């Protein structure tokens, strides 16, 4: 007998990483629900994925800054998905954020407050139902604050700590998986202006495959390329007196 079809909701569904995850899951015959700010963009993507995979793909309007709408957003979905993934993120402009509190606030809210609160709503619904998986795309930038992106990095640190705490709380239950994804460098719209080292830079498709495989193995924390575990180990262990002198 064929396995029952599963549904995934991808918040930030028009992101390059979100799209790659959607494609990987659609090829395994999942129903895909894409949520984001631009419904026309999502619809174009949905049509592509559906034509390519034959999976059902639906689109839903969602703004991670509009926290007041979160309960109504979840209530209006066609069903409670098996898996929810937050691929929402905003790198923002570090230099601007240093002098513009509104920019700093948008980066902090887009990467921490919004994703944590919406996943909180799903955690309670999954608990009530008895199963579900929650996936947050966080970042190695949250593992240690750096001068070049500490508004983004500190928000991702908060998001990683939120996911860790939620996982810790739900571990006794065992039926709800909470996974943190720290992709490392990925070639996407977010990083197109950066020169990235090829050895530690993944494609969005690699992240998509890594998420699918880690979901099946019920992993807790993953990097897209395992070399990042060792890179971040060194960065985390570096004494502050040396670290603060590096221009990172």
Ligand X SMILES: NC(=O)c1ccc[n+]([C@@H]2O[C@H](COP(=O)([O-])OP(=O)(O)OC[C@H]3O[C@@H](n4cnc5c(N)ncnc54)[C@H](OP(=O)(O)O)[C@@H]3O)[C@@H](O)[C@H]2O)c1
Any idea which residues carry the catalytic annotation?
152
Of 199 and 242, nearer to ligand X (C-beta) is 199
Number of other residues whose CB lies within 10 A of the CB of residue 68 = 7
The enclosing H or E element of 121 equals helix 114-129
> Integer distance in angstroms from the first to the last C-alpha of the chain?
53
Tell me the HSE value of 25 on the side-chain side, using a 13 A CA sphere. 32
Distances (CA, A) of 105 to 23, 65, 69, 99, 155: 32, 10, 19, 11, 10
Q: Which is nearer to ligand X, 121 or 127 (CB)?
A: 121
Token pair of 234, please? 């060194």
d(CA 147, CA 94): 9
Tell me phi and psi for residue 91, to 5 degrees. Answer: -70, -40
CB of 135 closer than 8 Å to CB of 115 = no
Give the residues lining the site for ligand X (CB under 6 A).
Answer: 12, 14-17, 36-38, 62-65, 87-90, 110, 137, 139, 183, 185-186, 188-191
Q: Least distance in Å: CB of 131 to ligand X?
A: 25
| 103 neighbors 149 (Cβ within 8 angstroms) | no
d(CA 90, CA 198): 23
Residue nearest to ligand X (CB): 89
Nearest approach, Cβ of residue 174 and ligand X (Å): 27
Nearer to ligand X among residue 90 and residue 178 (C-beta):
90
- Measured from the CB of residue 240, what is the shortest distance to ligand X in angstroms? 24
Least distance from ligand X to the Cβ atom of residue 119, Å:
12
Give the pairing of strands 185-186 and 132-137.
Answer: unpaired
Strand, helix or coil for residue 242? helix
């Amino acid at each position: 007998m064929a396995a029952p079809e599963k549904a995934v909701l991808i918040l930030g569904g028009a992101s390059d990483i979100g799209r790659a995850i959607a494609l990987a899951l659609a090829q395994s015959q999942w129903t895909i629900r894409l949520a984001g700010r631009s419904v026309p963009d999502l619809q174009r993507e949905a049509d592509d994925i559906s034509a390519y995979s034959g999976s059902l793909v639906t689109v839903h309007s969602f703004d991670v800054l509009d926290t007041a709408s979160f309960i109504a957003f979840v209530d209006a979905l066609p069903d409670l998905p098996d898996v929810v993934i937050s691929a929402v993120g905003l790198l923002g402009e570090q230099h601007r954020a240093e002098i513009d509190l509104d920019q700093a606030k948008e980066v902090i809210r887009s990467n921490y407050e919004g994703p944590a609160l919406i996943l909180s709503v799903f955690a309670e619904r999954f608990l009530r139902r008895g199963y579900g998986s929650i996936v947050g795309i966080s970042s190695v930038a949250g593992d240690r604050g750096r001068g070049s992106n500490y508004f983004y990095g500190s928000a991702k640190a908060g998001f990683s700590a939120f996911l860790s705490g939620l996982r810790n709380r739900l571990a006794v239950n065992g039926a709800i998986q909470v996974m943190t994804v720290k992709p490392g460098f990925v070639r996407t719209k977010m990083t197109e202006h950066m020169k990235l080292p090829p050895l530690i830079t993944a494609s969005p498709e690699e992240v998509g495959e890594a998420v699918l495989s880690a979901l099946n193995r019920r992993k807790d924390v993953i990097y897209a390329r395992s070399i990042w575990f060792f890179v971040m180990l060194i960065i985390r262990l570096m004494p502050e007196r040396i670290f603060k002198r590096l221009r990172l």
